Chain A
Amino acid sequence: DQQVKQNSPSLSVQEGRISILNCDYTNSMFDYFLWYKKYPAEGPTFLISISSIKDKNEDGRFTVFLNKSAKHLSLHIVPSQPGDSAVYFCAARSYNNNDMRFGAGTRLTVKP
């Protein structure tokens, strides 16, 4: 059962523009959401997270938005840079459950 879905396998944007990566989930027990970035031949790197008690969290160029009623979250990268080109995974978990669920990933390409 795929409880976390990233429906866009790939996204291409121009350098300097905004990148928006989307993620949907089905389990209403999830209360913590994370985004990871993965370069080839490396493990996923933690990027940003958000608790279910918030609807927005910012860290520099990265902002995550959470819409609990729609069970949807998104990652905004502004401005996008070529170094942001990577695969981005959305992940979710619930309190006291260590089974973190990942989406299938979205490959972001930022063109110079």
Chain B
Amino acid sequence: DAGVTQSPTHLIKTRGQQVTLRCSPKSGHDTVSWYQQALGQGPQFIFQYYEEEERQRGNFPDRFSGHQFPNYSSELNVNALLLGDSALYLCASSLTTYEQYFGPGTRLTVT
């Protein structure tokens, strides 16, 4: 049973560029959440997608946007990258609303 997968593993971008991160949820899961984890901190909730709609959003600017496809996979897009966007981006999937299963993350470095 494949767990949550994310791509790419690592990414280096320049300030001002745009980036797209991808996530495939665990089989049978229909809800995808995205988190940003800065160095030395816990994950911070960006937003959650369910039935191809953004269900809830954390305290992140509109530069962060997402999408969920009919097969439940999801993308996270970040526009106009800032140095402060450098972090580990985690995707989590769930069927119930409480227990989330995390992928290995995408390490984004903005130079």
A interface, CB within 8 angstroms of B: 4, 6, 32, 34, 36, 41-46, 49, 89, 91, 93, 97-105
B102 and A98 within 8 A (CB): no
Q: Given the complex, which residues of A lie within 8 Å of B99, measured CB to CB?
A: 34, 46, 49
Q: Given the complex, which residues of B lie within 8 Å of A93, measured CB to CB?
A: 98
Encode contact with A along B36-67: 1 for CB under 8 Å, 0 otherwise. Answer: 00001111110010000001101000000000
Q: Is B25 an interface residue (CB 8 A)?
A: no
Q: Secondary structure of the B side of the interface?
A: loop
Minimum distance in angstroms from B108 CB to a CB of chain A: 15
Q: How large is the interface on B (under 10, 10 to 19, 20 to 34, 35 or more residues)?
A: 20 to 34
9 smallest A-B Cβ distances: which pairs?
A102-B42, A43-B102, A98-B56, A99-B45, A98-B48, A44-B102, A102-B43, A43-B104, A43-B103
A4 and B42 within 8 A (CB): yes
Q: Given the complex, which residues of B lie within 8 Å of A103, measured CB to CB?
A: 42
Q: Given the complex, which residues of A lie within 8 Å of B48, measured CB to CB?
A: 98
List CB contacts (< 8 Å) of B59-111 with chain A: 90, 92, 97-105
Q: Is B21 an interface residue (CB 8 A)?
A: no
Chain B CB within 10 A, most for which of A34, A43, A101? A43
A44 to B56, CA, bound (A): 21
Q: Is B24 an interface residue (CB 8 A)?
A: no
Tell which of B42, B43, B56, B92 touches A97, judged by Cβ atoms closer than 8 Å.
B56
A4 to B84, CA, bound (A): 22
A104 to B38, CA, bound (A): 10
Known: A4-B42, A41-B104, A89-B42. Is A99-B58 also a contact (CB below 8 A)? Answer: yes
Minimum distance in angstroms from A65 CB to a CB of chain B: 19
Q: Given the complex, which residues of B lie within 8 Å of A36, measured CB to CB?
A: 102
